[in-house]
Amino acid sequence: MRLCKLLEGDQVLVHPNQKAVVVDTSRFDSDRIVAVEIDNGEELDRLEVEIQDIKVASRTLNSAWTDRMLTVEDVRPVVRPHALKSSPSPSKMTLGSTASAKSVRRLLGKTGFVVTMSPRVGHWAKEKDRIMQAIKAVGGIVIDNWTDIFSMDGTYSQGNKRWVAAYKDISCIVRNDIQRVFLLSDDANAKPKYLIALALGIPCLDTNWVVKSVGDGKEKDWQQYLLPAGFCESLDARVSQLVDLDWGNSDEHLRDITGNQVASKLFANKRILCVAPDYVPIAKAKKNYSDAEKAKEAARMVPRIILTMGASSVEAVPDVKYASSKDLTEYDYIVVKDRGDIGHVASGSNCVHFGWVKDCLMAGRLLPQPVD
């Protein structure tokens, strides 16, 4: 339990579940009222709110309220005199001014989106552009790739033929214009952007969420627009996503992305070796990609997909001879590109193909390995 004591700078939720920051607590003890500011993406709206109308997200409590843990000494019953009258509470119109502020503010201000379309869309590039224009029109921020907001660079050795990254090094690149993120798509797919969102526990939503919100001039509940995690071939079924339904109500969801306890983290505490010429990410210093290299971009994201699945360490090499350990049994899994590569690249029960990894991610659990 925490003490009911708000401090300036605290992140809170006010009606209707809008994120705000406490800016004045001078009336907290006398009237149980604080002043908060809501950043609507264009300007700051200031409101006076009763304590009873404030909520604090659980992720915020766990991360930022450790200095207000309740002790036995803090429990003191207080009886207010009947003659004592509290100051009149802010009218519902005052609290409801959030609604008027909401009509002024940008609909999806401070919200970042990664957009990816399924292969089934004939003119996917045109449709994707239409969705991105709709996002920008209502104040949303389009993010090109997850690496633009989450750092997972890794290090190179062996003449750039070995790439190594650790899960503990994944961090959020703090941006003042983004407080929450989502992935948007017309349908579930197995593209890298979609798979990384699944691995990190970031909700993947139907593009209709933005379209309907823009059309009604009011943000719809995103939970109703959750897409499937994807079609799991091993289970021969479309599987639902596993997400935190309170996602986005605290900045800690982004700041501490690896602390998301809802994400399955199937490879937690496991050491993974990825072996394929296409799997080694291109160093950042290399900017001029050839057409052939661009075609391999999806394959080069495989080590990062596996990293976001919780692996303590991920290595990517074009050949096992570049692996940091010559004893391949030291790796919990060796991931190869195709099922036919098992036995040719490496052998043993810890050698799996990426198709199995994708199925596990969609299913949210480690599945039995296919037996040839």
pLDDT, one tens digit per residue, over 19-68 is 888 888 888 888 889 888 888 666 788 888 888 888 888 888 887 888 88
Q: Which residues contact 6 (CB under 8 A, 6 or more apart)?
A: 12, 22, 25, 28, 34, 51, 54
Which pLDDT score, from 0 to 100, does residue 142 have? 97
Which pLDDT score, from 0 to 100, does residue 287 have? 52
Residue that wins the pLDDT comparison between 77 and 197: 197
81 has a pLDDT exceeding 60:
no
Average pLDDT, the chain: 86
Closest C-alpha among 128, 244, 248, 245 to residue 178: 248
Q: Which residues contact 96 (CB under 8 A, 6 or more apart)?
A: 15
| Whole-number Å distance between alpha carbons of 314 and 307 | 6
Rg (CA), the chain: 24
Of how many residues is the chain composed? 372
Q: Name the region of 322 (left: φ>0; alpha: ψ -120 to 50; beta: rest).
A: alpha
| Whole-number Å distance between alpha carbons of 187 and 172 | 26
b or e along 348-368 (b: 16 or more beta carbons within 10 Å of the residue's beta carbon)? eebbbbbebbbbbbbbbeebe
| Whole-number Å distance between alpha carbons of 252 and 56 | 12
pLDDT, one tens digit per residue, over 142-195 is 999 999 999 999 999 999 999 999 999 999 998 889 999 999 999 999 999 999
Domain ranges for the chain: 11-104, 111-363
339 has a pLDDT exceeding 80:
yes
Q: Which residues pair with 359 in a beta bridge?
A: none
Out of 67-76, 87-96, 232-241, 314-323, pick the least confident: 87-96
- pTM (2 d.p.): 0.81
Q: Is 204 exposed, middle or buried (0-12, 13-18, 19+ CB in 10 A)?
A: buried
Closest C-alpha among 64, 112, 67 to residue 259: 64
DSSP letter string over 218-286? SPPPGGGGBPEEEEETTTTEEEE----TTTTSSTHHHHTGGG-SSS--TTBT-EEEEE-TTTSPPPTT-
Closest C-alpha among 278, 358, 352, 270 to residue 317: 278
3 has a pLDDT exceeding 70:
yes
Q: Which architecture characterizes domain 111-363 according to CATH?
A: 3-Layer(aba) Sandwich (3.40)
Which pLDDT score, from 0 to 100, does residue 79 have? 59
- Written as six digits, the tokens of 293 are 């290299």
Answer whether 178's CB lies under 8 Å from 111's CB: yes
Q: Residue range 303-323: average pLDDT?
A: 97
Q: Residue 54: CA atoms inside 13 Å, Cβ hemisphere, count? A: 24
Planar angle of CA 259, 317, 269, nearest 5 degrees? 30
Answer whether 310's CB lies under 8 Å from 328's CB: no
